Amino acid sequence: MLVGCKSPTDVGSPASSRMDGAFTTSNLSSGFGIGGVQPTTSAEKYNPVVENPFVEVSKEATSTFSIDADGGSYANVRRFLSANQKPVADAIRTEELVNYFPLNYADPTNGESIAVNGEVSGCPWDKTHKLIRIGLKGRSIAKESLLPSNIVLLIDVSGSMSDANKLPLLKAALPAFVDNLRAQDKVSIVTYAGQAGVPLSPTSGADKGKIKAAISALGAGGSTAGAQGINTAYELAEKNFVQGGNNRVILMTDGDFNVGVSSQKELIDLIVSKRDKGIFLTTVGVGVGNYNEAMMEQVANKGNGTYEYIDNQKQAQKVFVEEFSKFYTVAKDVKIQLTFNADQVRSYRLIGYENRLLKKEDFTNDKEDAGEINAGQTVTALYEIIPVLALSGSGSGQVSQFTTPLFTINFRYKQPTATSSQALELPIVDTNTQFEKASENMRFAASVAAYGLVMRNSAYKGDATYEKVRSWATAAMTYDPYEYRKEFIQLIDKARQLQ
């Protein structure tokens, strides 16, 4: 089902702020389960996603948004497909599908914390349109050079976490995370059910046996006092704060808070009050049936952190081992702004990032919160544009080159402990490159974005089909260090079968 989507001909103005509205509840049947757990109904909660429309440059030439480094939507969509279900439309956030995959971007130079790159090419699902790809990469840091850490594992042990794909999955996955800790790192465990507890006080990463024993001893039962757990975790993180280090709470839950502060707005207000103390937040969602994704994604957005979802042991390996450096932030409040030239571009559409839109004036406002990027992490954004020359039509199906083929993209970001931002600028020249000749980064990112458009049955999918998406993706498989792309091809086939 398509939710609140405008027709491609309905050109409007961009939203002026991020959507923090009420979540929607979807009733599904589910055959997904681990260890025989197969819930037959669900009341999962998702925030509404209303796709960005095309915006006329003559009415609004400037587009501003915050990056989003989350990868949770992709894993959650995979969980639906594995259960032979079509994903709920509001579970499909296109930017998170794209940013699930590491792309082959260069590291920053000249002392910057992030590197930026980009290109322009034809649009594969509409030959009269073009795509702009904007890429960022956080500074890579060798494991031995990572900052000393003060990490609080905040684990939901309420009764709803007893299913095999919840607490038992986390208990099986976390020992591999512990193996990455060093002697200079400290880890604590806070649990919450009817009330919060501290089964592990701050412990050196060298004492792995003690940490793993505390994890192994965890059991589920009782109601969910989520707010009390969050407060206790932040208090512990503040008490053991490492000046100049990596201070982080990692919240692991199905999001089913039912004791104390439980509304989405109240929990977000609580998180916002804590983030300015220099403690970052990662949320890790698990489970099916009562999963509150709306809560998990928004709490991470507001807590200076990222949101991930774990649907199986392989995904746990990705989150806790293969992308361990994502628990270390190298830049915060990262914003992007692009002003289009009305002589070149008739209209534009930011693909995804619907709940990350900013007002034009927010770009230089250092009090306005935005997204974070972590060590070695890549983030990608795509704009679909309708060139002015596309209206005249060349008859060949390929858009002519712009008169002045240059885009200047502006970025602002803060160092993790800074209060003021620094600026970067990226000029991109349009060389009239056909999509098939674009970089592999462009071709793969566009194929994943198209996958999301087709799954949503988006009004903006043009002539994209699963067959075409598969063709585009299989032609962009050279860079695949963990074989995530190989699995992506299988998911395309699965989605096509369900269609």
How do residues 198-208 score in pLDDT, each as one tens digit?
Answer: 999 999 999 99
Task: Give the separation between CA 348 and CA 346, rounded to whole angstroms.
Answer: 7
CA-closest candidate to residue 130, choices 360, 462, 395 = 462
Q: What is the DSSP string of 77-100?
A: HHHHHHTT-PPPGGG--HHHHHHT
Q: Is 271 exposed, middle or buried (0-12, 13-18, 19+ CB in 10 A)?
A: buried
The confidence band for 225, taking pLDDT boundaries of 50, 70 and 90, is low
Beta bridge partners of 351: 382
Give which of 198, 192, 256 is closest to 222, Cα–Cα.
192
User: Is residue 32 scored above 90 in pLDDT?
Assistant: no
- Ranges 47-51, 163-167, 275-279, 445-449: which has the least confidence: 275-279
Q: How confident is the model at residue 42, as a pLDDT?
A: 60
Region 433-456: what's the mean pLDDT?
98
Delineate the domains of the chain, giving CATH numbers in brackets: 24-141+330-498 (2.60.40.1230), 143-327 (3.40.50.410)
Measured in whole angstroms, the distance separating CA 294 from the mean position of its chain's CA atoms is 13
- Of residues 9 and 70, more confidence is placed in 70
Range 158-177 average pLDDT: 94
**213 pLDDT above the threshold of 50:** yes
Q: Look at residue 261 and tell me whether its pLDDT is greater than 70.
A: no
Given this model, what pLDDT does residue 396 score?
45
Percent of the chain predicted with pLDDT > 70: 85
Nearest 5°: phi and psi at 245? -105, -165
- Taking a C-beta distance cutoff of 8 angstroms, is the pair 458, 5 a contact? yes
What is residue 274's predicted lDDT score, i.e. its pLDDT? 80
- At 31 the pLDDT is 31
Q: State the Cα–Cα distance between residues 310 and 263, nearest whole angstrom.
A: 23
Strand pairing category for 307-310 and 422-429 = unpaired
**Hey, how many other C-beta atoms are within 10 angstroms of the C-beta on 81?**
20
Taking the C-alpha atoms of residue 158 and residue 363, their distance in angstroms, rounded to an integer, is: 41
Give the pLDDT score at 5: 35
Give every CB contact of residue 334 below 8 A, 6+ residues apart in sequence.
Answer: 66, 67, 114, 136, 370, 371, 372, 373, 379, 411, 412, 413
pLDDT at 269: 81
**Considering the chain, what percentage of its residues have pLDDT values greater than 90?**
73
Write down the residue that tokens 């903006």 correspond to. 460
Q: How confident is the model at residue 268 (pLDDT cuts 50, 70, 90)?
A: confident
Please compute the mean of the pLDDT values over residues 279-285 and round it to a whole number.
94
Q: What is the pLDDT of residue 15?
A: 39
For the cut 90, the answer to whether the pLDDT of residue 64 exceeds it is yes
The confidence band for 8, taking pLDDT boundaries of 50, 70 and 90, is very low
Q: How far is CA 367 from the centre of its chain?
A: 22
Mean pLDDT for all residues in the chain: 87
DSSP string over 381-428: EEEEEEEGGGGT--SSSSPPPPSS-EEEEEEEEE-TT-SS-EEEEEEE
Q: What per-residue confidence (pLDDT) applies to 475? A: 98
CB 148 within 8 A of CB 460: no
